[in-house]
Amino acid sequence: MERGLFNITTNATTELLPIYGTHGNVKSIRLSNYSAANDITIDLYLEDGSSNLSYIMNDLVIPVATTLLLTEELSFDNSVLGMKIVTSGTTPLLSVIIK
């Protein structure tokens, strides 16, 4: 997929922006649960090279057919931090768009 577009369909940890990159200027993140039947629980966080985590969201439940748009103060120093998301739930169906 293109940078910034993700379609997550499993319970997994997904690297959204790898550490030591040049894409830390994040204006928005759109998280869409496109399931017709199941909620999704997510953790969205920044991680440094020593596996230290700073949570943006922790144990957030996104209900069925719901979109969450994050737009406030999302930029970070991507030369020392990466962004990851953990999805859990029954057959999660999550679209992530990073701009």
| Tens digit of each residue's pLDDT (9 = 90 or more) over 75-98 | 888 899 999 999 999 999 999 999
Give the integer Cα–Cα distance in Å for 4 and 16: 7
5-98: CATH topology: Jelly Rolls (2.60.120)
Predicted pLDDT of residue 3: 64
Residues 6-44: tens digit of each pLDDT: 999 999 999 999 998 877 788 999 999 999 999 999 999
pTM to 2 decimals?
Answer: 0.91
- In single-letter form, the type of residue at position 20 comes to Y
Q: Which amino acid, one-letter code, is at 76?
A: F
Contact by Cβ (8 Å): 81, 47:
yes
Give the pLDDT confidence score for residue 22 in this predicted structure: 77
Q: Cα 37–46–91 angle (5° rounding)?
A: 15
Tokens of 79: 């030369």
